[in-house]
Amino acid sequence: MRILIVEDDKGTARFIKKGLSEEGFMVDVVSGGEEGLFMATTEIYDLIILDVMLPEISGFEVISDIRQKGVSTPVLFLTAKDEKEDIIHGLDLGADDYLVKPFAFAELMARIRAVLRRGQISDQTQKLIIGDLVLDRVTRQARRDDKIIELTAKEFQLLEYMMRNTGHILTKTMILDRVWGYDFDTQSNIIEVHVNRLRAKVDKDFSTKLIHTVRGVGYVIKTQG
């Protein structure tokens, strides 16, 4: 699942992104209200974590605008504004939850799970399918034919990214940026290690291979070699 964080405090943004990434979520971070509005209306997210006090335009203005544009992505306000009037205003504007800073990450995760459970997500959105491989983004479980495939959080995140881009070649740089969210030493073999582990789980026991290497370029997931 993919989450957008709109937060101008870099320390808070890093803390949340690290925690969510470790839970297997794909995370994008922006620091300004206008950029948050742009991302929320041009990209597809499962959840938006939104601060109120932002540069350019406030979080209240962001949610008001995206709701007027018909964007129904769940929004969780995470802010230091703790007045009852602010909480009521945020919820009335269309937020799904409102958590006041300072906060415990465990509570944030519990609220995220609750919001996602309440979300009206279609079966098509819940599941990514390629051939006989099914990735359920709600139960966070993979299955191929009748075999359940156990994945680590990072393997799930990598497979989700590849399946979202079925048939498209993904370079090492693209994978590092989207799945890990920060740069590694270009000589690092972290991508190769994770792809090989994923192959061993997804392809090893099946005649049709789904994960392919494009030599010198990157990787692609598809049903035909």
Q: What are phi and psi of 117, to 5 degrees?
A: -65, -35
Count of C-beta atoms within a 10 Å radius of residue 145: 10
pLDDT tens, residue by residue, 104-153: 999 999 999 999 887 654 444 578 889 999 998 777 889 998 899 999 98
Q: Where are the beta strands (DSSP E) in 54-109?
A: 75-79, 97-100
Average pLDDT over residues 26-37: 95
How many domains does the chain fold into?
2
pLDDT tens, residue by residue, 37-79: 999 988 889 899 999 999 999 999 999 999 988 888 999 999 9
17 and 74 belong to one structural domain: yes
- pLDDT bin (cut points 50, 70, 90) of residue 224 is confident
130 and 114 belong to one structural domain: no
| Residue in this structure with the two tokens 């406030």, named with its chain if needed | 58
Question: The domain containing residue 103 runs over which residues?
Answer: 2-119
Q: Which of 85, 102, 119 is the last residue of a domain?
A: 119
Report pTM. Answer: 0.63
Q: How far apart are CA 127 and CA 137, in angstroms?
A: 6
Q: How far apart are CA 182 and CA 222, in angstroms?
A: 26
Q: Which of 119, 149, 181 is the last residue of a domain?
A: 119
Q: Which two tokens stand for residue 28?
A: 């994008």
